[in-house]
Amino acid sequence: MEYNLVLLYTSLAIGILTLISVLKRANGWFFTIKFNSKKFNLPPGDMGWPLVGNMLFFLQSFKDGNLGSFFSYYVTRFGKGGMYKTFMFGKPSIIMTKVEISRKIFMDDENYDRGMPNYILKILGQAQVGGFTREESKSLHRMTTLIKSDISLLSNYFDFAKEIVKKSFEKLVDMEEPIDVLLAIKRPAFDVLMRILIGDGVDNDMVNVLFEETIYLFHGCHGLPFNIPGSAYNRGLKARRAMAKIYQYILDERKVMIGKNKTREKSNILLEMMLNTQDDDDEGFNDEKIIAMLVSYTFAGFESVALVASTAIMYLENHPHFLDKAKVINESLRIATAKTIFFREARNTININGYTIPKGWKFLSFSWNYHMDPRTYVRPKEFNPSRWDDLKTKPASFLPFGVGPKMCPGANLARLEVSVILHYFLLNYRVEQVNPESKIEPPRSCLVKFKKI
């Protein structure tokens, strides 16, 4: 009897291990068979599990703050070629770990599209409007660059940003209870962004709703893309719809104002800049695309700015000898954006580095491979603005906002926002860490009290 039980359990264990082994290889077999022809020559790699690919491994590494372990798996197992096949974000993909390969793809606007996952495009509203053309993307770049290059607009920007940041910090000083430093910086970062996007004079209740819904939108974009009631993604879709209604209301109000003035005056407000591209035949940015871009800018320019600014604040508090360094923002951007992912998609079958990649496959580039590369940045996990005094980086090895024709159009705005927040904070405030022994990574709930100096 005991012998039979041992045999049963042994057979069961062998069966389970065999099933797991088959499932683990099933995705790889499927794509090997599908693209097993002389037409394609795919790089080595691991396609992971059916449906989810290697997303579970990636998400765990991302959550632990150690993406290096994810990439080292590919490099150790498949060599240092710099290109590896995988299945991530619901699509067959190529991971790029060498900066030279990423730069080649980023700079090629003819053969590669943006490649953002469809579920993110949908939650941001870009899928519904068919995305943005090359000319529209160039126009957006010009608008955001104008804010930074025009002296009069820049002066006006610093004036209102200073007032917003000042009021926010004063409220933080009056708080008796400690607060998460990232959470504390989110509101002034958001308020400054709203002033750039839609201007002042907007009802405070509307702005508060936009702030709350943007939080849900952010969690929806970073959660699993399952549109079921109660899921973060489902709530994110509802948040976008709520934000779109508010932005449409504001847009309609601006149209009425422009109609009364009968002129389209120069503006430093992004909504009005986009609105001014419309003519009597509705050429230029239509309402749907303006709203989609406002939602996208709100998503991209809010959390990222707060993360970079709060990272800089905490590192500077723990390394006060760096306060006089001019490259603090670059070093903060390098560390805070190390988990950024850049997407591209092959418009056609592509030949690159000896491989032939099918049309529609994604190309994934991760800032971690460049911002945390010890060959470029000595002791990369250390905060050291001094490294920028004489650092000669490899081409594209510093990618906080991407590179090439499709570089983030809000890059100039983000840098400017971070500059204003840090400028006013360093001149007037300091933070006191509640637990000096805790890690100073803002995403991991670093509690502080704000002090005026």
pLDDT at residue number 63: 77
Q: Determine the pLDDT at residue 236.
A: 93
Query: Which amino acid is residue 277, in one-letter code?
Result: T
- Spatial distance between the Cα atoms of 240 and 246, rounded to a whole number of angstroms: 10
Question: Rounded to 5 degrees, what angle do the CA atoms 38, 44, 49 make?
Answer: 105
Q: Which of 239, 232, 175 is nearest to 210 (CA)?
A: 239
Nearest to 193 by CA among 420, 432, 433: 420
Rounded to an integer, what distance in angstroms lies between the CA atom of residue 58 and that of residue 84? 14
Place of tokens 């991991």: 444
Determine how many CB atoms are found less than 10 A away from the CB of residue 159. 9
Sign of CA dihedral 446, 220, 88, 411: negative
pLDDT on residue 237: 93
The Cα–Cα gap between 36 and 85 comes to 14
Q: How many helices (H) and strands (E) does the chain have?
A: 16, 10
Q: Which residues fall within 8 angstroms of residue 124, CB to CB, at 6 or more apart?
A: 217, 221, 240, 292, 295, 296, 299
Q: Are 271 and 251 in contact (CB under 8 A)?
A: yes
pLDDT tens digits for 402-427? 776 666 766 767 777 788 888 888 88
Mean pLDDT (10-residue bins), the chain, 453 residues: 55 56 55 65 85 82 82 90 90 90 86 85 73 70 64 67 86 89 90 86 89 92 83 93 94 81 63 75 76 87 85 83 70 85 90 90 90 88 83 69 69 77 84 78 76 87
Residue indicated by tokens 């971070």: 418
What is d(CA 393, CA 273) in angstroms, rounded to the nearest whole number? 35
Q: Please tell me the predicted confidence (pLDDT) of residue 78.
A: 92
15 phi, psi to nearest 5 deg: -65, -40
Q: pTM of the entire structure?
A: 0.80
- pLDDT value at position 94? 93
Q: Is 397 helix (H, G, I), strand (E, B) or coil?
A: coil
Q: What is the predicted pLDDT for the residue at 332?
A: 84
Report whether 408 belongs to an annotated binding site.
yes
The domain ranges of the chain are 123-452
Q: Which has the closest alpha carbon to 184: 204, 161, 168, 167?
A: 168
Q: Please count the other Cβ atoms lying within 10 Å of the Cβ belonging to residue 233.
A: 20
Other residues' Cβ atoms within 10 Å of the Cβ of residue 80? 9
Rounded CA separation 69/72 (Å):
5
Q: Which residues, at least 6 apart from 425, have a Cβ–Cβ distance to it below 8 Å? A: 165, 169, 309, 313
Task: Kindly report the CATH class assigned to 123-452.
Answer: mainly alpha
